Amino acid sequence: MISKSIIPSALFLLLTLHSISANPDEKPILCRGNYHSEADAVKQLKRMAETYSNLDEWKARKQKVKEQILKGAKLFPLPKKTPLKPIIRNKREYDGYSVESAAIEAFPGYYVYGNLYRPLGKKGPHAGILCPHGHARGPRGGRLRPDQQQRCATLARMGAVVFSYDMIGYGDSEKHGWNHRHPQALTLQTWSSIRVIDFLQSLDDVDNDRIGVTGCSGGGTQTFLVTALDDRVKVSAPIVMVSAHFFGGCHCESGMPIHKTSALETNNAEIAALAAPRPLLLVSVGGDWTKNTPLVEFPYIRNVFKLYNKAQQTENAHFPNQQHGYQYLKRQAMYPFMVKHLKLDNRGVYDRQTELYDESKNALESIEQMRVFDASFPMPKHALKPGSKIDYR
C-alpha cells in the first residue's frame, strides 16, 4: 500500500513524465471566455494545488506554465530583440509632470504607440511603470480614456516614468489602419509589453530595478502575462481580470493555446501567481468575473506566496458593490501599493486627512494632442502596412 505522504511527489513525477511525452502536434485546446463553471474552477485549482507541496516543486511547475504560455503564444524561444528606434516628441508640461507622444518598433516596422508621462521637479532615477489598457471603445477608448490618463498622470506626479500604450487596433494603431482582430494579436501584444520594458529601461531617468505594471480588464490580462514571462517586472497590479473560471473573452487573451495542453492545465489565477514572490495586488469587484476573488483566486495565489514565506507581498482589494473598470476607487487602491513597493514619493498627492490621492491637478488631453504621428510629423516610410503578418522567425 502506498503511503499517503509520498503521493504528491509520485503525482508530480507522473505529471513530469506526462509532460515530456506530450505530443507537440496535438490539436490546440482553447480555453475561451467562461470555459468552465465557477464550481469547476474551484475543483481545477484544487487539482493544480495537488501537483506541488514545496517551493522546489512549485518552481518546477512555474517553469512549465511559463513555457506553455510562451509556446502557446508562439514566443518560444523568444524572438530576437531588434532596435527599438524610439521616437519621443511633442512634450507638454503640466503641474508636476509632463507628457510626450512616443512610439517604438517592437519588430522592425511594427510600431507600438503611446504616451510617456514623466515627473517634473523630482530627482531621478525614477521607477518605470507600464500601463496597458483594456477593450473599451468609443471616441476616447484605449489609452485615450480619461481614467487611463488619470492613473498615468497621478503615478508620474509621484515620481514614476509611465508608458501608456495601444493594443493593436486601438488608438493610433487603429488610426493607422490596424484591426484588433489581427490573428497574431496575443503574440504581438505580449511581445510589445516585453519591448516596452526594454524601452523604459533604455531611458536615462529610469531605475531598471523598479519596474511595475498595472492594467485593467484586457489590460489586466497583459499585466499578468508580462509579469509571468519577464522577471524584470518587480511589482504587478492586474485590475478586475484575474479569475479562475473566466479566461478572457477576446482572441488577444484566450485565442491561442496558453492555458491547456494534454500535458498541463492552468488558468489565469495560477498565471497571476507566477508573480510570486514579487509584490502582486489583485483588485476585484462584485460585478464581474472577479466576484469570487477573496474566497477562490486570492487564497490560491497567497498559498504560492507562502511557499516563499512572502505572504505579505500579495494583497487583494475587493469592492463587492462595484462594477468592471478602473474607476476612481480602484485607482485609490492601486496607488498606495505602487508607492510602497516602487518607493514613489506621494508628497503633494496623498492627503493624510482624507486618505485619498489627489487627481485634481491632472490635465486631460485631447486625442489630437496624444497622437504620435500627424501631418507635421508623418509616419516613417518603412512602417509595415496595416494588417501585415509579422514574420519574426
- Dig out the grid coordinates for 393 from the structure: 522567425
The radius of gyration computed from the CA coordinates of the chain, to the nearest angstrom, equals 21
Place of cell 462595484: 322
Strands 160-165 and 110-119: antiparallel
Nearer to Zn ion, 243 or 346 (CB): 243
Residue 341 C-alpha cell reads as 513597493
Residue number, 51 or 290, with CB nearest to Zn ion: 290
Pick between residue 252 and residue 256 the one whose CB is nearest to Zn ion: 252
CB of 390 to Zn ion, least distance (A): 16
Q: Which residues pair with 51 in a beta bridge?
A: none
The residue (of 112 and 252) whose beta carbon lies closer to Zn ion is 252
Task: For the CB of residue 219, give the shortest distance to Zn ion in the complex, in Å.
Answer: 10
Q: Which residue has the cell 492552468?
A: 266
- Number of C-beta neighbours around residue 76 at 10 A: 13
Which of residues 85 and 181 has its CB atom nearest to Zn ion in the complex?
181
DSSP 265: B
CB of 135 to Zn ion, least distance (A): 6
- Per-position x/- string for 138-177, each x denoting binding to Zn ion as judged by CB under 5 A, each - no binding: ----------------------------------------
Cα separation, 163 vs 312, in Å, equals 28
Closer residue to Zn ion, CB minimum distance, 158 or 239: 239
Whichever of 119 and 169 has its CB closer to Zn ion, that residue is: 169
> Hey, what long-range contacts does 173-177 have (CB within 8 A, 24 or more apart)?
173/111, 173/113, 174/142, 175/371, 176/111, 176/373, 176/379, 176/383, 176/386, 177/385, 177/386, 177/387
Closest contact distance (angstroms) between CB of 215 and Zn ion is 12
CB of 186 to Zn ion, least distance (A): 8
Contacts of 140 (CB under 8 A, 6+ apart): 146, 367
Count of CB atoms situated within 10 Å of the CB of 155: 30
* Per CB under 5 A, 216 contacts Zn ion: no
Rounded distance between C-alpha atoms, residue 341 and residue 235, angstroms: 7
Q: Which set of grid coordinates corresponds to residue 300?
A: 490560491
- Please state the separation of Cα 354 from the chain's center in Å: 30
Site string for Zn ion, 249-268 (x = CB under 5 A): -x-x----------------
CB of 185 to Zn ion, least distance (A): 6
For Zn ion, the closer of residues 159 and 238 by Cβ is 238
State yes or no: residue 281 binds Zn ion (CB under 5 A): no
Please report, for residues 332, 336, 348, 349, 358, the alpha-carbon distance to residue 352 in angstroms, rounded to integers and kept in the order given: 13, 12, 10, 10, 11
Which of these segments, 51-59, 111-119, 248-256, 382-390, binds Zn ion (CB under 5 A)? 248-256
If the CB atoms of residues 35 and 298 are measured against Zn ion, the closer one turns out to be: 35
- Closest to 36 in 3D by CA, of 266, 284, 218, 322: 266
Closest approach of Zn ion to the CB of residue 253, in Å: 6
Question: With CB under 5 A as the contact rule, which of the stretches 109-117, 145-153, 245-253, 350-358 interacts with Zn ion?
Answer: 245-253
Residue 302: closest CA among 283, 291, 289, 315:
315
Window contacting Zn ion (CB under 5 A); options: 48-56, 65-73, 244-252, 283-291 = 244-252
Count H helices and E strands in the chain, helices first: 12, 11
Point out which span in 146-154, 242-250, 332-340, 359-367 binds Zn ion (CB under 5 A).
Answer: 242-250
- Count of residues interacting with Zn ion (CB under 5 A): 2
Give the span between the Cα atoms of 369 and 198, in whole angstroms: 25
C-beta closer to Zn ion: residue 81 or 181? 181
**How far apart are CB 125 and Zn ion at their closest, in Å?**
33
Distant-in-sequence, close-in-space partners of 333: CB < 8 Å, separation ≥ 6: 281, 283, 317, 319
d(CA 350, CA 6): 52
Least distance from C-beta 178 to Zn ion, angstroms? 12
State the minimum distance, in angstroms, from the CB of residue 171 to Zn ion.
Answer: 13
Binding residues for Zn ion, rule: CB under 5 A, are: 250, 252
